[in-house]
């Protein structure tokens, strides 16, 4: 099993997660931009998730509403740069806390032999929010993504 490397910066409220997948970049990218796939790995089955809209392209935007045992709420965001199979740069914020804007960059690196290295970097509003962000379950989500990639 591939392990996630989680790197926190002690000078900036930033999180970097580096994770390898046994799937080519096109599959890993697709799981990030197809809303039906995105919901399958980002939240476990105890959550109900609705996409009010999801337009993953440079200049596009989205709004997602989720309800589950640990969290109920919605987020909205904008896609700043989307390069197929290579890069997603986006910002998003919880509707309840619009001042907590997150800047994210996902880079998809082709390692050859049908493998991908994903580097996800998130810059958040504060160190306190960074710690909440760390507890949001991205590492667990990537384990669910592994399972999904084997199915698609």
Residue 113's SS3 state is coil
Side-chain-side CA neighbours of 96 within 13 Å: the count stands at: 6
Checking if the pLDDT of 135 tops 80, the result is no
Per-residue pLDDT reduced to its tens digit, 40-87: 998 888 889 999 999 999 999 999 999 988 778 999 999 999 999 999
The region, left, alpha or beta by phi > 0 then psi within -120 to 50, assigned to residue 72 is beta
User: What are φ and ψ of residue 139, in 5° steps?
Assistant: -65, -45
Q: What is the pTM of this model?
A: 0.91
Superfamily the domain 5-151 falls into:
START domain (3.30.530.20)
Q: Residue 76, Cβ neighbours under 10 Å: how many?
A: 17
The domains of the chain are located at 5-151
């Amino acid at each position: 099993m591939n392990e996630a490397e989680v790197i926190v910066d002690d000078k900036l409220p930033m999180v970097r997660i580096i994770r390898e997948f046994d799937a080519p970049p096109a599959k890993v990218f697709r799981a990030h931009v197809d809303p039906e796939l995105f919901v399958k790995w980002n939240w476990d089955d105890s959550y109900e998730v609705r996409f009010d809209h999801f337009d993953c392209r440079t200049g596009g935007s989205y709004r997602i509403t989720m309800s589950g045992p640990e969290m109920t709420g919605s987020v909205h965001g904008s896609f700043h740069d989307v390069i197929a199979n290579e890069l997603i740069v986006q910002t998003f914020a919880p509707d309840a806390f619009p001042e907590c804007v997150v800047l994210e960059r996902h880079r998809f690196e082709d390692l050859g032999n049908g493998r991908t290295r994903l580097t996800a970097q998130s810059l958040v509003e504060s160190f306190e929010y960074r710690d909440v962000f760390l507890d949001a379950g991205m590492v667990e989500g990537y384990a669910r993504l592994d399972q999904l990639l084997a199915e698609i």
